[in-house]
Chain A
Amino acid sequence: MTRRSQLGSVLVALVSLSCTTVAHAHKPSDSYLTLDARERDPSGSWEIALRDLDRALKLDADGDGALTWGELRTREPELVGYALAHLTIQRGTTACSLTAGDLTLVEHSDGAYAHLPLAARCSTAAPLSLRYDLFFANAPVPTSGVASAAVDPQHRSVLRISTASRRDETFVVTAGRRVITLDAPPDSAVSTVPALVAQGVSHILSGLDHVLFLLALLLPSVLRRRGGDVATAPQIRRVLGDVVRVVTAFTVAHSLTLGLAALGLVNMSADVIEPAIAASVAIAAIDNLWPVFGGDRFSIAFVLGLLHGFGFSSALSDLGLHGAALLRGLLAFNVGVELGQLLLVGLFVPCAFLLRRARRWPEGVLRGGSLAIAAVALFWFCERVTGG
């Protein structure tokens, strides 16, 4: 704002009217359209400012400036119809049928937005294109009964779309660019499964906290406790049995919570889970030094593994999958996590078994390694708690 952009009001001798109290910042009109078009039938969501919808549909029935849920809810079918009439998704030259789920509300910096889950059904797998006319003039779709005041040439829609070949592309739809044409359709859903498996593998291998947790649990596997002392385990069968038990406990636990979170059955705060995962790594490592939990690594792997599953789920939810794609994605991602874990075990166990008789194994590796892991994990914990 420049000072003299205000001077116009002095020239025309405008009476200054007191501002209304609003808790939100103002911004130009935007909507947010998110589409997952990797399958033939795209799905996604559309967020439209209630402020803009009110201008078009006069939702605030009593005109008091406070739009209530009741006023909104009773007009829901009309609102949905209005929105859908201004959006066309097509494959090739055939329009897909478009439906919206239950209206919910989300907050943006300038106030509440209507959130509409979208589902399209397409009859072909031809390339996708989209036509967006909401709040634009000269919309070719029927706009009967809509106040002409609802037109805003400065309206924008931020379209985020994933297709088979490109993930999460962003387009800005404007009055001058209402048609967005995307590339070729998915040949089949298989193409995404290896990608998700790879995602799972890379997640566990690059997520150092999971690797260190597993390592802390596996370090003592080639050893045997005798009283307060440790000795090397004599037989490979014993070692393998121990490893399998620990890894299975961890796998079952994190698969369970990964599934619960990914399917949306439980919703966990990352602010709590992330430090808790760091703490779990520290606990597993400290238990190797002072076996406060009785060195019962099976229980530790299971109980703390529950936390790690929630950690995996945030990586999966970042991919933004829905419905059947989510289930398949969940499976593929989890297979990837297990493969990555297996790779780690496959590298660690033979080395450890071969080195178990080396003179310094028990102290040097078990104590030193556990101490190092605990230190790193405690550092992470502090970092994550303070939000660094």
Chain B
Amino acid sequence: MSPQTSPPAPRFPLSARHALFGAVTVVLALAAIRAPRGEAQRPARDETVVARVPARSSVEVRALEAAEATAASDPGDPRRALALARRYIEASRREGDPRYLGAAEAALARITAVAEPGPEVRLLRATILQARHAFDAALVELDHALAERPDDAQAWLTRATVWTVKGNYQEARASCLKLAPLVSPALGVACTAPIEGLTGHTELARTELERGIATARSNDERAYLRSLLGERAFWQGELGEAERQLRATLTLDGGDRYTRALLADVLLDAGRPEEVATLLSERGGDDALALRRALADLARGQKDSEDVRRVSEGFAASRLRGDSVHQREEARLWLARGDAVRALHFARASWAVQHEAWDARLLLEAAAAANQPAAATPVLTWLATTGFESPRLRSLAANLREDR
């Protein structure tokens, strides 16, 4: 638009009007081209791949289908249905895919439709409930299962985990004590070390873990304890040591998605988001990994990246269906997106059901970012009573105490 004031010329050039017509035409054409085509559509070509589904030709899916067939051939046999449920739970762990938990639940429902649930069924139900963050219901199932079978190592371990998540370290320790005589020393350490770490005995945790690694009987055990060493170092703020331990874990077990996510957290804290993309590029599905990719994008200023959009949509869809399993992750995402008030909302909601180190950190960070130091009070109390050692959390807490 040329802002020249025309001298008293009565006729203005027609070309200006033409330009206006032209501009509007261009805008309309542009708008039509840019129109969202992602709406409903039918692909033009038969070869277009429209979805990725579990490949029925793969070993994993063939094994699942065989177990399905075995269970269906004798619906009255609870062992077959149990084996099927176990397979689905394993598949869910392997792929990080909650859909398999629904299938596992369906397999268990076939048993409970005709009989009272035995301890095995209750243990698997507890595993599923724990994955859905229904911690209290999981504990009820576990206590039933253990009353019938007090030597069930997996049940004691799960019980220790759930009580740790809920922040009751006494009950968690008691479960580890029951577990210790039933398993190898290394797995005994795997149960107790995280509790020592959370309750301020971080040096004890390290020596136990190192001793555990020395006595470990398999690569799986070694990998597991090493990743716990890495996690301990992460919370201690020893990012270099954490990275070393976690990378060592991944060379032992490249498929360990939890360790991969933890390493991504280390890199994010170390301000190396570009390396997160490389670390996680080949691994898609898992929510936890997708969240780290989104956080790495946000750290690099890519606010509208594919992963940020998908993770946000996934959280929204999850809330719509009434789930609350992603509150911690959602708090993290909103914090990274700069919406402190929303982050605080989810951090509070997460703290209400679980008290792990991440929940504590997020509530402190969100309270500080939202300038609502009072919201962090429960974490300050938790830090004081547990003695949890983490320089980062200590300094966050100290600042918040001053602001209060």
Binding site for B on A (CB under 8 A): 1-14, 16-30, 50-52, 54-55, 58-60, 62-70, 72-73, 102-112, 115, 137, 147-149, 151-156, 158, 170, 172, 227-229, 266-269, 271-273, 276, 283, 286, 290-296, 299-300, 303-304, 306-307, 310
Contact = CB atoms under 8 A, between A and B. Distances in A.
A64 B61 CA distance: 11
A276 to B, nearest CB: 4
A292 B1 contact: yes
B4 A290 contact: yes
Contacts of B224: 6-7, 10
- Which 4 A-B residue pairs are closest in the complex by CB-CB distance? A65-B55, A70-B46, A63-B56, A154-B102
Interface string B289-305: 01000000000000000
Given A25-B310, A26-B96, A27-B314, A148 B72 contact: yes
Interface stretch (B16-24, B366-374, B375-383): B16-24
8 contacts: A4-B160, A19-B96, A23-B52, A69-B49, A109-B310, A137-B109, A269-B35, A276-B27
A5 B12 contact: no
Given A63-B55, A69-B45, A155-B102, A283 B1 contact: yes
A22 B20 contact: no
B255 A109 contact: no
Contact of A105 (B41, B61, B157, B283): B41
Nearest to B290: A25
A286 B183 contact: no
Given A5-B131, A106-B38, A29 B102 contact: yes
Interface stretch (B206-214, B315-323, B342-350): B315-323
Contacts of A294: 11-12, 14, 16-17
A28 B93 contact: no
B282 to A, nearest CB: 6
A14 B165 CA distance: 24
B161 interface: yes
Question: Which of B4, B16, B102, B288 has the most A CB atoms < 10 Å from its CB?
Answer: B102
Interface string B211-238: 0000000101100100110010000000
Nearest to A225: B10
A111 B318 contact: no
B24 A306 contact: yes
Contacts of A299: 17, 20
Contacts of A55: 53
B103 A112 contact: no
Contact of A24 (B161, B227, B284): B284
B174 interface: no
Nearest to B223: A10
Contacts of A154: 98-99, 101-102, 105
Nearest to A112: B51
B31 to A, nearest CB: 4
B154 A11 contact: yes
A10 B187 contact: yes
B95 A20 contact: yes
Contacts of B158: 4, 8
Contact of B42 (A102, A107, A108): A102
Contact of A26 (B20, B43, B99, B231): B99
Interface hub of B50, B191, B257 (most chain A Cβ within 10 A): B50
A293 to B, nearest CB: 5
Contacts of B154: 8, 11-12
A104 B51 CA distance: 13
A287 to B, nearest CB: 9
A156 B321 contact: yes
Contact of A17 (B49, B53, B94): B94
Contacts of B261: 1
B311 interface: yes
Given A20-B52, A307-B28, 12 more contacts: A6-B258, A25-B290, A25-B311, A28-B323, A30-B321, A66-B49, A68-B47, A68-B48, A266-B32, A276-B27, A293-B20, A294-B16
A66 B80 CA distance: 30
- Chain A CB within 10 A, most for which of B52, B94, B221: B52
Interface string B120-149: 000000010011000000000000000000
A203 B17 CA distance: 29
A26 B90 CA distance: 16
A1 B106 contact: no
A105 B42 CA distance: 6
A58 B38 contact: no
B404 to A, nearest CB: 31
A2 B317 contact: no
Contacts of A66: 49, 52, 55
Nearest to B38: A107
A292 B314 contact: no
Given A27-B317, A106-B40, A290 B131 contact: no
A8 B153 CA distance: 10
